[in-house]
Amino acid sequence: MNEVIIIYALTLLLAWPLGRYIAGVYSGETGMGGRVFLPVENGLYSLCGIDPGQPMTWQGYGRALLKFHLMLGLLIFGLLMAQGLLFLNPDGIGGMSWDLSLHTAVSFLTNTNQQHYSGQASLSYLAHTFGIVTLQVVTPAAGMATLFAILRTIFGGRDARTGGSPEARVSVGNFYQDLTRAIVRVMLPLAAVAALLLASQGVPSTYEGAQTVQPLDSNVAMEQQEIPVGPVAPMVAIKQLGTNGGGWYGANSAVPLENPTPLSNLVETVSIVLIPAALVFALGFFTGRRRLAQVVMGVMVVMSVGLASVAIWQENMPNAAFSSLAAEGPNLEGKEVRFGATATALWGSWTTQTSNGSVNGMHDSFNPIGGMVPIMDMFINVIFGGVGVGLIGFLLFLLLAAFLGSLMIGRAPEIAGKPLETREIKLVCIALLLQPLLILGFSAVTLAFPGLTGNSNPGYHGISQVIYEYTSAFANNGSGFEGLNDNSIWWNITCAVNLILGRFIPMLAPLAIAASLASKRTAPEGRGSLSLDTGTFGLMTLAVIVMFTLLSFMPVLILGPIAEAMATIH
């Protein structure tokens, strides 16, 4: 367990100064970084004809967000279908089918990276670097941009330069400026450092084609082996830092070429949570509410440690399938033995506590309760969450807890001195209840028609596989239990629907809520006000998150992993 404690401590230790830096980026501080990056940003604004000082309403910000993603999505969709006719394709890989191209483009466009294909065999170097890696940089930056638009709106004020209704007078910032700052000042510099570290450990970074090698074992029937390589290190760096998760290779970071050494495993593990944790610290520095940031971090760490501990404990138990063999020791089925059960279980928990979704082992091979932990992580989806969107989702629960807490102490519901009224609570409910509606609805239809699933496991585990796939799509996570024939029109289209709605509704609804709150008069906080930055309110928020998750998903957990665990008891 010492390695787990060290990884948690190292991640939080690095996240604190990074959070301070990110808050400075969005507070307009120039500093040394600003003097370096500002000319680059100004050049991009001039090239694209953007006025970064032009304020936007929340509707304008949302339209810019959606139009930008639509343009990128169409471009990548076309690239994936036509990659066989384009350059940077030394291995002669053909284009994807329309449905797989659609799913792949939407998956990476939504910071999900759910893969219904095997990367090294299905994508050219052009599709990987220009298409996939571009989205892996841009989409987390869009999440970060939207987060700071929401924070500045809730804890800032209104902009009288625009006309119309009070809500329409609220400026939430400029999407293109927020996006550019995230890309230029945060995502690219961090990814460059991580890529250099990984390349130093032996992760390939080349545009040469597949390498032909002679097997070391002379008794092997084949005389030579083709090993696909490529610019792997840059992709792995941004896939981890950007809570993306899509791997160059089909088995992701369990492949030695993606993750060759204990140091590379440490770098990749820390990178999973680094930016989401840093954004919590940035919340305190940016808004001046450092105690609120401490409360949020406390709730997240409690949930993270609790669920990760269950996963680690379970994966260090024997595999029930080997009980007749009297096998002892941890469950090593589906594990990369270089890392073992503990490091794999921690990765499996962290990658689903964020929207990262990368793997260094097979979640499908976890013990039943160990496999339930990643599903629970994604049901909650706000333990750390994706870059930007995780904290946005936490703010929804914060609003719900403030609404309930205010009623419990006999006051009109409010947050930060602003009244919480019907409009705001309706939007909170839409954003939160969409998750169980889509996950359980699509899962029910799919399980009702077994021919749709291509499921490798009947019974309890088969239910878990289907639930996991749709949960992974909605949570913009991307990992999978696998065991499904998921490269089919049914899976590609239904998962694409979950991907789109699970990404943009939980981003746009809080943006509208923030503008609505900012348009209202702020009442001075007094002794009777509900304080958000206390341990009591933190416990209230934790209770709301746990109760919402269990009420929404406890029945399906009983039908899936819990029933499977009970069936293994002799």
The DSSP secondary-structure symbol of 216 reads S
pLDDT beyond 60 at 70: yes
- In this prediction the pTM is 0.93
Tally: H helices and E strands in the chain:
20, 4
112 phi/psi in degrees, rounded to 5: -105, -50
Average per-residue pLDDT in the chain?
Answer: 90
CB 243 within 8 A of CB 478: no
pLDDT beyond 90 at 424: yes
User: Quick one: pLDDT at residue 157?
Assistant: 45
User: Quick one: pLDDT at residue 323?
Assistant: 66
User: Quick one: pLDDT at residue 327?
Assistant: 60
pLDDT beyond 70 at 161: no
pLDDT cut 70: percent of the chain above it: 94
- Give the model confidence (pLDDT) of 386-396 as tens digits: 999 999 999 99
User: Quick one: pLDDT at residue 28?
Assistant: 79
Distance CA 320, CA 15 (A): 39
Confidence of residue 158 (pLDDT cuts 50, 70, 90): very low
Q: Which residues contact 193 (CB under 8 A, 6 or more apart)?
A: none
- Give the model confidence (pLDDT) of 87-113 as tens digits: 888 888 999 999 999 999 999 999 998
User: Quick one: pLDDT at residue 160?
Assistant: 36
pLDDT beyond 60 at 326: no
Distance CA 498, CA 496 (A): 5
Cα angle value 553/240/252 (rounded, 5°): 80
- Give the model confidence (pLDDT) of 283-292 as tens digits: 999 999 999 9
pLDDT beyond 60 at 236: yes
Confidence of residue 74 (pLDDT cuts 50, 70, 90): very high
Which has more confidence, 31 or 350? 350
Distance CA 147, CA 520 (A): 20
